[in-house]
Amino acid sequence: MIIFPAIDIKDGKCVRLLKGDFNKITSYDKSPVDQADVFFKSGFKDIHIVDLDGALLGEAKNSEIIKEIIKKVKSRIQIGGGIRNIDNINSWLEAGVDKVVMGTAAVENIGLLKSACEKFKNKIAIALDIRDGLIALSGWTKQTNISALDFIKEIENFGVSRIIYTDINKDGTKKGPNIKDTIELSSKVKIPLVISGGVSSIDDIKKIKSLNNSNIEGVIVGKSIYDGDIKINDLVKLI
């Protein structure tokens, strides 16, 4: 199972949101570059990065910082936020990222998603941000009536490499991830899922790992690391 420590970037800083609310934001002292270096030197082979400004505005706003991270660390980087077209995807892959994460653009333009998957084999991931079973878009500010399962079934044969499943109601709360719904969804689809949102302790990670569910590819951990609830040294032992 892959453990992805997360770096969310807004206005050039490491931040975490509470339930996707940009009015409930916590900033942290370490710069995104320094934080990525800590993760890499601790032994994490993968890092999950989101350009929150990009997610809101529909275009990359922290690309220089992210490119500096790519140059400095040797971890595999997956990047999301503001990726809306083929040129965006191509430029990130040329910069050296491992996976490009599409969110809003993938849901609003299924043709674009299909083209991207065909052009960039095994390089396209999808971030599905779910509120009460339905997909939210544009940095979680736009609620749809599209069910996660219906959407995944529609794109299941495109060649999407993984789906990052975030329960918005859990994200940033440190009240435990929505394991039940993620497991239920994983049993109905073929694309590997990554659990995101609400991880509160090392026990949450151990529980997910103990499931031995071949369709749960990994878990993303953010706020609990930054707040000290999960020690990096303990977490890296579970890789």
CA 126 and chain centroid, separation: 8
CA atoms of 209 and 203, how far apart (whole Å): 10
pLDDT for residue 121 is more than 70? yes
The DSSP secondary structure of 180-220, one letter per residue, reads HHHHHHHTT-SS-EEEES---SHHHHHHHHHT--TTEEEEE
pLDDT digits (tens, 9 = 90+) for 88-101: 999 999 999 999 99
Instruction: Return the pLDDT at 19.
Output: 65
pLDDT for residue 139 is more than 70? no
Domain at 134, CATH number: 3.20.20.70
Instruction: Return the pLDDT at 76.
Output: 98
Which residues are catalytic, by number?
Answer: 8, 129
CA atoms of 210 and 101, how far apart (whole Å): 27
Sign of CA dihedral 197, 60, 152, 4: negative
pLDDT for residue 52 is more than 80? yes
Report the predicted TM-score, pTM, of the whole model to 2 decimal places. 0.92
Q: Label residue 141 by pLDDT band (50, 70, 90).
A: confident
Amino acid at 156: E
> How many structural domains does the chain have?
1
pLDDT for residue 55 is more than 70? yes
Range of the domain at 201: 2-236
Between 167 and 195, the higher pLDDT residue = 195
